[in-house]
């Protein structure tokens, strides 16, 4: 009986650890050059200066100038780029709320990257309507909670 209980505790700790890793999201911020900025709408740009923070929408990079509409929504953790400026004087905002910054005046750029990323399939695969990964994680969570409760009730 004690061997079964020790095995149950081991799997309980293992399941909780796996669940925490899955739910936390493995993100890493990598410092990149201002000239390596991706010109894509899938990234959320946020400008940080000494006194303010500006989330940008519809960001465009052309002729060495980054510009975008100042939005109200802050970036999500994934697909975000954080741009840090040393001074507020390089920021130009026009009457239509479009912010412009020369790329050569950017102090630091951080790009959020997913550490564990699934490779996309080479052919189109029809996505299932039920998110099986989330269902399995939910079942693991329920099993670990039931195991934890049963261990605590035996003490």
Quickly state the pLDDT bin for 100 (edges 50, 70, 90): very high
Question: Are 37 and 85 contained in the same domain?
Answer: yes
Q: Which two tokens stand for residue 8?
A: 């149950």
Which residues, in sequence order, are bridge partners of residue 45? 56, 81
Is residue 125 assigned to a domain? no
Distance CA 49, CA 51 (A): 6
**Structural domain of 104:** 28-113
Is residue 118 assigned to a domain? no
Question: Are 11 and 48 contained in the same domain?
Answer: no
Q: What is the pTM of this model?
A: 0.57
Question: Are 4 and 56 contained in the same domain?
Answer: no
Question: Are 92 and 35 contained in the same domain?
Answer: yes
Quickly state the pLDDT bin for 88 (edges 50, 70, 90): confident
Count of Cβ atoms closer than 10 Å to residue 24 Cβ: 8
Count of Cβ atoms closer than 10 Å to residue 13 Cβ: 13
Question: Are 54 and 98 contained in the same domain?
Answer: yes
Q: Evaluate if residue 99 carries a pLDDT over 70.
A: yes
Structure confidence at residue 149 (pLDDT): 76
Question: Are 87 and 141 contained in the same domain?
Answer: no
pLDDT digits (tens, 9 = 90+) for 14-49: 777 776 766 655 666 778 877 788 776 778 888 998
pLDDT digits (tens, 9 = 90+) for 115-144: 555 555 555 555 555 666 677 777 777 777
Question: Are 105 and 56 contained in the same domain?
Answer: yes
**Domains of the chain: total:** 2
- Conformation bin of residue 75: beta by default, left when phi > 0, alpha when psi is -120 to 50: beta
Distance CA 67, CA 100 (A): 4
Distance CA 125, CA 43 (A): 25
Distance CA 64, CA 12 (A): 54
Is residue 41 assigned to a domain? yes
User: Is residue 56 within 8 Å of 69, Cβ to Cβ?
Assistant: yes
Structure confidence at residue 130 (pLDDT): 60
Is residue 131 assigned to a domain? no
Distance CA 91, CA 105 (A): 10
- Nearest Cα neighbor of 108 from 88, 81, 135, 127 is 81
**Distances in whole angstroms, Cα of residue 5 to Cα of each of 2, 142, 153:** 5, 18, 12
Distance CA 139, CA 154 (A): 23
């Amino acid at each position: 009986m004690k061997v079964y209980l020790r095995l149950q505790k081991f799997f309980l700790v293992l399941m909780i650890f796996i669940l925490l890793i899955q739910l936390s999201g493995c993100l890493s911020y990598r410092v990149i050059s201002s000239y390596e900025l991706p010109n894509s709408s899938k990234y959320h740009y946020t400008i940080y200066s000494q006194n303010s923070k500006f989330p940008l929408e519809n960001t465009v990079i052309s002729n060495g100038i980054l510009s975008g509409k100042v939005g109200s929504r802050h970036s999500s953790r994934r697909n975000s780029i954080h741009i840090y400026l040393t001074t507020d004087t390089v920021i130009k905002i026009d009457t239509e709320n479009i912010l412009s910054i020369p790329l050569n005046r950017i102090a630091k750029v951080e790009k959020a990257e997913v550490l564990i990323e699934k490779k996309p399939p080479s052919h189109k695969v029809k996505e299932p309507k039920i998110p099986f990964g989330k269902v399995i994680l939910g079942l693991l969570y329920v099993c670990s909670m039931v195991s934890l409760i049963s261990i605590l009730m035996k003490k």
